[in-house]
Chain A
Amino acid sequence: MKIIVCIKQVPNTTDVQIDANTGRLKREGVESIINPYDEYAIEEGVRLKEKFGGKVTVITMGPQQAESSLREAIARGADEAVLVSDKAFGGSDTLATSYTLSSAIKIIGEYDIILCGKQASDGDTAQVGPAIAEMLNIPHVSCVKKIEVVDDNSIKVERMMEDGYDLIESSFPVLFTVVKEINNPRIPSLKGKMAAKKAVIKTFNVDSIGADTKRIGLSGSPTQVVKIFNPPQRTGGEKFVGEAKDVAANLVKRLSDLGII
């Protein structure tokens, strides 16, 4: 089974600060990590390989420093890594990112399953996975919480829903985005870390993926960021304190005065 896992390097913090002047994320001094959801995607890929044989290739689009995340993915059990990096990719929005990644995946060639995280902890759009699938013209299932059965020609998965889950069957090749419920990622092993140290990371640039330069980077990104800002902290609100009975009565009175109930 040939598996490709898309991973993104993100800043290690859930409350990324935004530079008020430039509207960009403040990345200085923040350690870079693998997008947390993508760790689950890597683990699921490695488990599939351990069960059915085959190979796990991790791929990321990002600056040269994203190589460290690829090496960590190898320490976590991936076999090969591809870095898609070029100045021309700078400023990509989700459309350009998905185009670039899907172009690179076409160069990698054969695959049965592509795994992505549900969403990135910084961009947070949850668009890249499904968009890659569209561009490759393959089916996808998002928010997968369990891979149920794998046959020669089909695979059944559980898709997480708010009120339970859907059981979905698909043919190959297929793309899944995964949620944290899917597994419990392993600690990178010593032999994995040694392999990561020695691994040769393949690097693709604009030319090697044969990308249409109009569809990459800023020129390929129809989304324009007008302004990014920290929403103002919510203030005060009304507080009811005291005995539970009195609080409940006061609250009901206030809500009915406001015409809410």
Chain B
Amino acid sequence: MAHSTQTLEKGAAKAAPAAAVYSIRRPRSATAKKMFPYLLVGPAVLYLLAITLYPGLFAMYQSLFVVKFVNWSWAGLGNYTRIVQDREFWAALANTAIIGGLSLCLQTIIAMTVAFYCYRDPFVRGWRIVFLMPMLFMPSAVAFIWKLAFNDGRVISDLLMAIGLVSNNVDWLSSVWLARLTLIVADVWQWTPFLFIIFVGALQGQDEEIEEAARLDGASWGDIFWNISLPMMRPIIVVAVTLRGIDITTMFTNVYIMTQGTPGGATETMSYFIYRQGFRMFNFGYASAASVLMLLITIVIAQTIVKRAFKSGKS
């Protein structure tokens, strides 16, 4: 007994200096301990609140006024009633849906197809990060590159002429659909990799044994994709596409730099409409009201999609 106590004490004596060496913590009061995590995340939270929540609330407040610089006059819901009668607002909404919807469909399909063809490829496994390159460019730089390629530098036209698809220079801003197409191409180019990376990751996480079992059951790769991979990836697809969708609905940079809403407003997205109202025509209250409406529409759509996708995924 005495013997064992002695060894215990010896052990403790040995442990104590070790603890003193390795512990970087100093004794603290219970309150300080509790506050510490909040202290760590505090700056980030404050920053995020300052750049998102405050402007959001400010916009909601401002949307209730007619604002001419420093003159604010109370308008109640006047801005909103004017907006719902504004054909330009509805046109912008439709343009956003058309351009964004097509772009989103296209990038989802491309990303999924490419991901499914190459997810077991060793190169893709090791180097999938390089596919992120287009996302790393500054959005305005990308917009200028495409503006150059389509409109100013006529690179695309030249290429099309070289392969004999067209005989004259194409004026991309002359037609509604060509102008929209340039925006779609730019967005697809920059953001397909984002979806690709997510889809490849999901596919690589798929159990290889299950694929082999399906092969032995007689399934082709197409069968495996439609029957097994796609249903299993469903939640991931929903989340990724929703995130992308939210991002696309706020498409601004490309419009601002490449088309500025031409021709005839056919490429004016919601963000550009809001920008034009606010910073060209200085109807700040009106622009704020449009932003608030846009926010509501986005939230409702995203919420419905996500809710529905996950509900049926569970059963």
Task: Say whether A associates with B.
Answer: no
A→B interface (CB under 8 Å): none
Q: What is B's interface to A at a CB cutoff of 8 Å?
A: none
